[in-house]
Amino acid sequence: MTCDEAEVLLHALIDDELDAGHAHEVESHIAGCPRCAAALRDYREMSKAISEAGVSYTAPAALRQRIEAALPQPRAVPNRRAVLRGFAMGSAVSALAATGLVAIVLRNDDAERIQAEVVSAHLRSLQAGHLTDVISTDQHTVKPWFNGRLDVSPPVIDLTAQGFTLIGGRLDYVDARAIGAVVYKRRQHVINLFVAQTGNTERRGARIDTVQGFNIRHWSDRGLSYWAVSDLGKDELAEFGEKFERAMPAPG
Amino acid sequence: MPINASVDDPEKARRFREAALPYLDDAYTLARYLLRNATDAEDAVQECYLRAFKHFDTYRGPAMKPWLFAILRNVCRAEYARRATTPTSAIEDVPESADQTPLWHEAEETPEAKLVRRWDADTIRRLVAALAEPFRETFVLREIQNLSYREIAKVAEVPVGTVMSRLARARAMLRSAWLAEEEQCK
């Protein structure tokens, strides 16, 4: 290897970008070339000096704030937000960290709390005499029963032919709101399908979580949020959700 | 889809914050070295983040830092162009042919036994800032931002071979400036 080649390749050696074969070639050249060896030593010393001196810059807090202000803000969540605002005030950095954090913490927090409430409601419904307010296997009986009792009555779909028997409907309370629960059965397993209005009109794909031993399939569609809760296995609960969604009348 | 946009934006913004804001100091550091001016660097970084947010939908990875840097570099180049029309603040740009000039004359007189001195952060910053483009950019991306050669090649939109020759030249120039600094201190 010539000095001309080595003077370029020794940088790749420093930066650990050379394959073993080339690294060996460069090292052999350097072993016999004091000039290249001195260069290599100096470059390594310089690299070390640069990393140890700390020559990066820290972005000014004002820049961070300007960027933050220019981005769409996380959705307002009134009460908790106000509580958290207190410690979001520290500095620009902590304020930023807090806004990011608030969005995440609240999201999970709310979702988890509602899931826990949904499971509690499911458990309450299993106590004797609590499962249904209206008992009917006929969707045309259950559906009108909800009308007038709720701002938004849940879609009631007969899935008997698909292996899930409609047995009735019930009013329940989740997240301090009255919501509709449509009750289905497969074999001896009860499925409560809780339906609540959401401000969010986008469709959100289903996810299945397990809370206190119960499976919850949650999805949103056309302004409604759905939680199907059951002690059925995840596969069968997923099957239920998919069949329900497929049986929903097309929009418009 | 105006309805979806209003619904998606806070979620998109949240993901963007998480993905991109951790690199704010890195982006600001790069802008400082490229533009050598604190105010211009702030403006460039802000513009970079707004552009990045706008194109965040098309971001497919793999690494956020080089992706942001590629955007930032384009913003900075627009700033060079603006300065070029303002003669008083124009920054020197070494022609590409400088890539091909021999490296050795700069450090030829270096006594082989002498070790380079440890400079403080301010001195190093000044020496790096004095490097001519495009060598400064390559040097900063490698030595301060720790990008790989391939990542630098992507950011600077040049082949990896060019990255290697620019880096060799940048380090050689810095080495001679580094040693010259010592002469001045005597």
* Model pLDDT for residues A29-39, shown as the tens digit of each residue: 999 999 999 99
Confidence label for B158 from pLDDT (cuts 50, 70 and 90): very high
CB B24 within 8 A of CB B53: no
pLDDT at residue A100, as a whole number:
42
| Helix, strand or coil, per DSSP, at residue A173 | strand
Instruction: Tell me what pLDDT residue B92 has.
Output: 47
Average pLDDT of the residues in B16-45:
94
CA A9 to chain CA centroid, nearest Å: 46
Mean pLDDT of chain B: 82
Cα B127 → chain centroid: 14
A189-197 β-sheet, strand order: A134-135, A165-174, A177-186, A189-197, A224-230, A214-221, A204-211
A45 touches chain B (CB under 8 A): yes
- Of A66-70, A89-93, B66-70, least confident by mean pLDDT is A89-93
Q: What gap in Å lies between CA B148 and CA B61, rounded to an integer?
A: 15
Confidence of residue A109 (pLDDT cuts 50, 70, 90): low
The pLDDT confidence band at residue B136, using thresholds 50, 70 and 90, is: very high
| Residue A16 C-alpha, separation from nearest chain B C-alpha, in angstroms | 9
pLDDT at B72: 96
Lowest mean pLDDT among B74-88, B109-123, B127-141, B159-173: B109-123
Tell me A216's DSSP state.
E
Asked if B25 and A58 come within 8 Å (Cβ–Cβ), the reply is: yes
Which residue among A35, A63, A202 sits closest to B45, beta carbon to beta carbon?
A: A63
The pLDDT score that the predictor gives to residue A220 is: 87
Beta bridge partners of A191: A184, A230
The per-residue pLDDT for A186 is 93
- Phi, psi (rounded to 5 degrees) for A124: -60, -40
Instruction: Name chain A contacts of B13, Cβ cutoff 8 Å.
Output: 71-74
Amino acid A189: pLDDT? 92
Cβ contact A88:A100 at 8 Å: no
Residues with Cβ < 8 Å from A94, sequence gap 6 or more? A87, A88
Average pLDDT over chain A, rounded to an integer: 81
From A246's Cα to the closest Cα of chain B, the distance in A is 23
Q: How far is B87 from chain A (nearest CA, A)?
A: 28
Give the confidence band of A82 by pLDDT, cuts at 50, 70, 90: very low
Could you tell me which of A22, A15, A24 has the C-alpha nearest to residue A47? A15
Indicate the length of chain A as a whole number.
Answer: 252
Q: Of all residues in chain B, what percent are helix, strand and coil, respectively (each to 5)? A: 75, 0, 25
Residue A95 has pLDDT above 80, yes or no: no
With beta carbons under 8 A apart, name residues in chain A contacting B118: 45, 49, 52-53
The terminus-to-terminus CA distance of chain A in angstroms comes to 75
Residue-by-residue DSSP string for B68-130 = HHHHHHHHHHHHHHHHHTSGGGPPPB--GGGGGS-SHHHHTT--TTPPPP---HHHHHHHHHT
Residue type, B39: T
Chain A residues whose beta carbon lies within 8 Å of the beta carbon of residue B112: 34-35, 37-38
Confidence of residue A74 (pLDDT cuts 50, 70, 90): low
Close Cβ partners of A87 (under 8 Å, ≥ 6 residues apart): A94, A98
Residues of B in contact with A7 (CB under 8 A): 103-104, 168, 172
Place B86 in a pLDDT band, splitting at 50, 70 and 90: low
pLDDT of residue A153: 80
- Rounded-to-integer distance, Cα A230 and Cα A193, Å: 9
Per the model's pLDDT, the better-predicted residue between A30 and A148 turns out to be A30
| Residue A147 DSSP SS3 | strand
Q: Mind listing the pLDDT tens digit for each residue in A167-218?
A: 999 888 887 778 899 999 998 899 999 998 876 667 778 888 888 889 999 9
Q: What is the pTM of this model?
A: 0.55
Q: Looking up tokens 């007189």, which residue turns up?
A: B109
Lookup result for tokens 């036994």: B113
Q: Which residues pair with A214 in a beta bridge?
A: A211
Q: Round to whole Å and give the CA distance between A202 and A213.
A: 29
* Contact between A59 and B178 using a beta-carbon 8 Å cutoff: no
Which pLDDT does position A243 carry in this prediction?
A: 94
Paired residues of B19 in beta bridges: none
Q: Say whether pLDDT at B162 is over 60.
A: yes
